[in-house]
Chains A and B, each alone.
Chain A
Amino acid sequence: MLKLWSMKKEQQKQENADAAVGKKKKITAAQLRVQKDLSELSLGTTMQTIFPNPDDILNFILEIKPDEGVYNGGKFTFTFSMSAAYPHEPPKVRCQQKIYHPNIDLEGKVCLNILREDWKPVLNLNAVIVGMQFLFLEPNASDPLNKEAADDLRASRETFRRNVKASMAGGSVRGTIYDNVMISQPKR
């Protein structure tokens, strides 16, 4: 066997290190990264986080209350779930309400490029929530997940706007009934 142990001892001496030894209970890489990401979130006034279990920071809920745009007045919640492979895999994000939005399907899946094909480990949770916020300000008809909503938006902004309002109040659009997401006390 190579004289590995003597090399290890040499290294230890050079680093003159007091690196810890013995039985260790290490923090997983994903948790370390999410801890860092969370401290850099800029939530502003329209977003807040909810941790059902604060010890499990890999799973939380993001609440968005847009204060402008067509979705103004609504409250939308998304589950965020990071696997042990985060940040080498993107976070999984799902909308908890059934909403009328061209880029969100009826199961809550979100079409946002950085959540899938354009995800890179250098991106962080803040990049994702900025993207989510943007989806509510600028719904995008060219990347449709809810095809009918996208068609409506393309055809007439005004019709789309009316449909959004109706759906947010729990009404039905083209035969689909959506969840009521209105904040009970309207914003001033």
Chain B
Amino acid sequence: MADSNETRRWQYLDQIRRNPGPFNQDSDVSEEALQALGQHKVLVIGAGGLGCEILKNLALSGFKNIDVIDMDTIDISNLNRQFLFRKDDVGKYKAEVAAAFVEKRVKGIKITPHNCRIQDFDEDFYKQFQLVVCGLDSIEARRWINATLVNMVDMDDSDSLKPLIDGGTEGFKGQTRVIIPTLTPCIECQLDLYTPRAAVPLCTLATIPRQPEHCIEWAHIIAWDQEKPFPDLDKDDPEHITWLYQKASARAQEFGITGVTYSLTQGVVKNIIPAIASTNAIIAASCCNEALKIATTIAPSLGLEESYMMYSGDDSIYTSTFKYDRKPDCPVCGGAAKPLAVDPGITLRELLDSFAVKPDMQLKKPSIRANNKTLYMQFPPSIEAQTRPNLDKTLKTDLGLDTGHEIAVTDPAFPTITFNFILSFTST
């Protein structure tokens, strides 16, 4: 009985997958290919509004092996839309509760939760997955995972290319995009799409607040710094928010402004944008369909040509799917650093002199840096003096450079160009 239930669960999905079509060639409908979905390892980042939907959808699309990362714990305010959580779960880790719920509901599936930050793992961890699906609310986390996946691409390892599916929502608006690291535009290429948070002039906050938000920002930016009631502001600590709320209320009263509430204070300080359950459902659904299509090739997916789907429900409904171009000078995926073969025993001065005679560089005043290391800067004068002693040091022994380190070379004569190299030491 249980077995036939299990077969019936996948009956229709199997039918779609077994039917050969224009995009589904013989090799894709073989038993082997059909089994592959279950062996695919998918990573879901975020177990919040989008994450709950994504986990549910992936599980019901036939994925059997899923990991989920989320550092957050469940708050009572999550329960209206994050449907894998119940009141008793408040305070527990989102990843853990979500994984347990879906595992219990969909038989034969394994979901491994990680209650931590994505930054706590390194490339070795991310290497085990074939596909990454993000349901995040933070630009910073997106940029981090994007840069990590782009950097992992290694021509010597055909397993190193991990498609990234990124969902995002804000009120009635949302987006789904597929990134194939180094093949299609990455998140950093598309960073201009984010509108910067509207800021109010500091002097307005300081002198003539007009809105309750101004009073809260004043408490947050000015009063907190003056009085330092706690060493560091923790936006999740009710005591800290209460302090800001009381300060803001007093100021609002002084200027005859109404509308400062505790929840508005929390909203302004944490920059909370109201989440709408159905927008999350729409975006998560499209993310998971793309995941299924990428994993099984049953239909062409978002990705290589058109890679971005925007959805807007603000004014009736509008969606548009379009091609975003790669940025040639993208700091993450663009201007691929070229290997530079050098003798590790030469001095920095010798290296810089070689840039003057290299026909494709011809730099007269090069400045050069590695990550977190200023090797030599021509300007400003103070840093020139500080880094001048480096000129006579050797690259490997004295300066600690090594094969695989990136160096960036700039020259005031070419203000728009940065030469990026990956060092490759020739002999020792």
A residues near B (Cβ < 8 Å) are 1-2, 4-5, 7-9, 11-12, 17-29, 31-33, 35-36, 38-41, 43, 48-51, 54-57, 84-85, 88-89, 103, 105, 107, 109-111, 113, 116-117, 119, 121, 143-145, 147
Contact = CB atoms under 8 A, between A and B. Distances in A.
Interface string B288-319: 00000011010001011000000000000000
A40 B156 CA distance: 39
B377 A4 contact: no
B161 A5 contact: yes
Contacts of B407: 27
| List of 4 A-B pairs having minimum Cβ-Cβ separation, nearest first | A29-B331, A20-B422, A19-B336, A143-B203
How big is chain B's contact interface, by range? 35 or more
30 contacts: A2-B294, A2-B303, A9-B155, A11-B183, A18-B338, A19-B337, A22-B404, A25-B404, A27-B370, A27-B420, A29-B332, A31-B371, A31-B372, A32-B418, A35-B408, A36-B418, A39-B377, A39-B378, A39-B379, A43-B380, A48-B382, A51-B386, A55-B373, A57-B383, A109-B202, A109-B221, A113-B201, A116-B199, A143-B203, A145-B206
Most buried by B among A11, A26, A33, A105: A26
Contacts of B398: none
B78 interface: no
A7 B404 contact: no
Contacts of B357: none
A114 to B, nearest CB: 11
Nearest to A34: B369
Given A1-B295, A29-B331, A147 B371 contact: no
Contacts of A18: 338-339
B361 interface: no
B424 interface: yes
Nearest to A19: B336
B328 to A, nearest CB: 12
A4 B370 contact: no
A39 to B, nearest CB: 5
Given A8-B182, A88-B196, A145-B206, A27 B380 contact: no
Nearest to A115: B202
Interface string B170-194: 0000000000101100001001101
A21 B200 contact: no
Contacts of A27: 369-371, 406-408, 420
Contact of A2 (B36, B188, B297, B373): B297
Contact of A109 (B183, B222, B369, B380): B222
B274 interface: no
Contacts of B383: 38, 49, 51, 54, 57
A26 B406 contact: yes
B65 to A, nearest CB: 14
B171 to A, nearest CB: 22
B362 interface: no
B387 interface: yes
A54 B367 CA distance: 13
A19 B338 contact: yes
A57 B380 contact: no
A25 to B, nearest CB: 5
Contacts of A21: 154-156
Contacts of B394: none
A4 B303 CA distance: 11
Nearest to B380: A49
B415 A35 contact: no
Contacts of B36: 1
B154 A147 contact: no
Contacts of A20: 336-339, 421-422, 424
Contact of B203 (A8, A23, A103): A103
Contacts of A4: 161, 163, 180, 183
Contacts of B380: 38, 41, 43, 48-49
B226 A117 contact: no
Contact of A111 (B188, B201, B418): B201
B338 A26 contact: no
Contacts of A19: 155, 336-339
B9 interface: no
A31 B331 CA distance: 10
A25 B370 contact: yes
Contacts of B371: 25-28, 31
B138 to A, nearest CB: 11
A5 B410 contact: no
B364 to A, nearest CB: 13
A113 to B, nearest CB: 7
A30 to B, nearest CB: 9
B396 to A, nearest CB: 14
A32 B404 contact: no
B107 interface: no
Interface in B323-353: 331-332, 336-339
A71 B202 CA distance: 22
Contact of A22 (B154, B192, B203): B154
Contacts of B377: 35, 38-39, 54, 57
